Every structure is written in C-alpha cells, then in structure tokens.
Structure 1
Amino acid sequence: MKNIFEASVTNEIIGRINQLSPESKAIWGKMSVAQMLAHCCVTYEMIYDETHPKAGFFKTLIMKLFVKNIVVGPKPYKKNSPTAPAFVIKDQRNFQTEKKRLIDYLNKTQELGGTYFDGKTSNSFGNLTESEWNIMFYKHLDHHLSQFAV
C-alpha cells in the first residue's frame, strides 16, 4: 500500500484528481464526479471539521467487529460496495469547489504527517494506528479515482 503521508504519494493522488473534469464519467456506480469528490471529502470532514457525530459505543463496537477490517485492511474495495449513510451524497455538487476541498484536505493531511494520526480516534472505529489511517485514506481515494478511470 502506498503511503499517503509521503509527499510524492500525495502529489500522485492530486495529479490523478487534476486529470478529472466536470464531464468525467464513472466506470461503475451512480455518483457524478463532483459527488464522488464530495464523498471522498467526508473522511476528512470527520477528522478536521467535526461536522459528523461520533458513533456511540454500541455502533463503534459493531463497526470494529464487522467493518473495520474491510476499511483498514489491504484488500481493495469491491465495485459498488455499500457505504455508510454519512458518505452518501445525494445532492448535486460543484466540481471545482469539491476538487479544491479534497486537494486542500490532502495537503493538510500530508503536512501533518503520519505521526499526527498514530493513535488518533476515528469516528467509527476508535483509535487507529498510523498504518491503518494510511490504508483507509489511500485505499478509499484509489478506489474512487479508479472508478473515474484516473
């Protein structure tokens, strides 16, 4: 798994994002490209903006037992996998706005570095290691950028 905390990897991801256009079409799934960018921003909103509530004890336990290994494990996501309700983007979004937000979040994450995230609490999974944060960040972005053929 590539390390999103390395500048070269962050720059590679940003380069892939910059290959997208408002007319980019998905190979699978129902999201527009702007919705996909907004969807990818949700992870970072949960960390930096605290706009999403933390899961309660019972939900966190269920998420740890049944979902965590899918999200932070090395296996790629399957196409058309279900997502958590907070990640569902139903309304139309502005491509340029969402693209800028995602790139800004990526730059902030890379600047903070992996040690900032080591032991940091995820809204859904409790404390994660630096490696688990990296996998979650990189795998999710790679999955959706591949969805749009970049």
Structure 2
Amino acid sequence: MKSIFEENAYHEIKSRIDNLNENSQANWGKMNVGQMTWHCQGPFNIMLQKENYGLKPNWLAKVFFKKALYNDKPWRKGLPTAKFLKAKEDKAFNGEISTLKTLIDEAFAEKAKTEWEPHPAFGYFTAQQWGQLQYKHLDHHLRQFGV
C-alpha cells in the first residue's frame, strides 16, 4: 500500500487532486466535490491533532475495522460515512480544496516523524499505518470522482 509520506505517492495524490474542479461529478455516493474535499480533511485533522471530533476509544472498531483502514485492499464503493465526517450542507469547493491541500502538505512535512499520538477511536497507528490510511482514504475518494 502506498503512503502519503512517500514522495511519489504524495505527488501522485496532489496531481490527481489538481484534476478536480467545482464541476467534478461523483461516480457513486451522495457527496458533491465540495463536500468530498471537506470530508477528506477529517482524517488529516485527527492525525495532525487539530480536531478529535469527540471520538472515544472503540474496541469494536479496533478489532474489526482498524486493519481495513490501511491494508492493500481498496475500499468498496458506497461504504457508509462516519457521522462526524458527513457534510450536512454544500461546501465551497475552492476553499475546501485549498484547505485539503494545505493539510496534505502539513502531513507530508511530518514524514520523518516516527511516533504519532493515538487515533481517538482506533488507538495507536505506526507512522507507516498513518501514511497508508491517508493515502487509501484519498485514493478512494479520488476514484469516486474519476481522478
């Protein structure tokens, strides 16, 4: 699995994001492109400790779901979205894409960091797992929008 901390994967993701625009249409799901770019900020906000969204440790998530976050198997279309990451209203694409790019850059700048604070619900991830999670999540949504 690629990692957002790998130079090639970082540049690939940034290039794919640059292919989005305010008229990009989803191939599946209910989010529009502004909502999707807002949604993709959440995992970075958690990793960079900007937000915890009121999440609490969840042993069921750790046991049954955590490995799926960063393994090599792509996520299937139409997976349910965590409530705290569901956009309840439209989001302005230009502002949200700018914020997302900034968060990706901030994460990449931390690529040499070896220890991260635990995820508030899933617990500890290694640096490799955090990087893979971020890449996998972005890849899922960029495929959703055909880029």
- TM-score normalized with structure 1 length: 0.90
Equivalent position of 1:85 in the other structure: 83
Q: Which residue of the partner structure matches residue 69 of structure 1?
A: 67
Residue 91 of structure 1 deviates from its aligned partner by 0.9
Task: Calculate percent identity across the aligned residue pairs.
Answer: 34
Q: Give 1:71 deviation, angstroms.
A: 1.3
Pair 1:52-2:53 in alignment:
yes
CA contact under 8 A between 1:34 and 1:92: conserved in structure 2?
Answer: yes
* TM-score, with structure 2 as normaliser: 0.92
SS at 1:121 equivalent: coil
Structure 1 residues 117-137: Cα deviation after superposition (integer angstroms, max 9, x where no partner): 545311221011122112210
Q: Distance in 1 between matches of 2:18 and 2:6?
A: 18
Give the helix-richer structure, 1 or 2. Answer: 1
How far 1:110 moved relative to its partner? Answer: 0.6
CA distance in 1, matches of 2:89, 2:114: 31
Separation (CA, whole Å) in 2 of partners of 1:101 and 1:75: 28
CA distance in 2 between counterparts of 1:65 and 1:30 reads: 28
1:148 maps to what in 2? 145
1:81-138: per-residue Cα shift (whole Å, max 9, x none)?
112111111211010111001100111111111x425453112210111221122101
Corresponding residue for 1:35?
Answer: 35
* SS of equivalent residue, structure 2 residue 25: coil
Q: Is the 8 A contact 1:120 1:129 kept in 2?
A: no
Return the offset for 1:46.
Answer: 1.8
Aligned-pair Cα RMSD in Å: 1.5
Instruction: Show structure 1 runs of 5+ residues with no match.
Output: none
Residues 32-75 of structure 1 show CA distances to partners (whole Å, capped at 9, x for unaligned) of 0010000100111223312512314xxx2111012112212221
* Structure 2 residues not aligned, in runs of 5+: none
SS at match of 2:40: helix
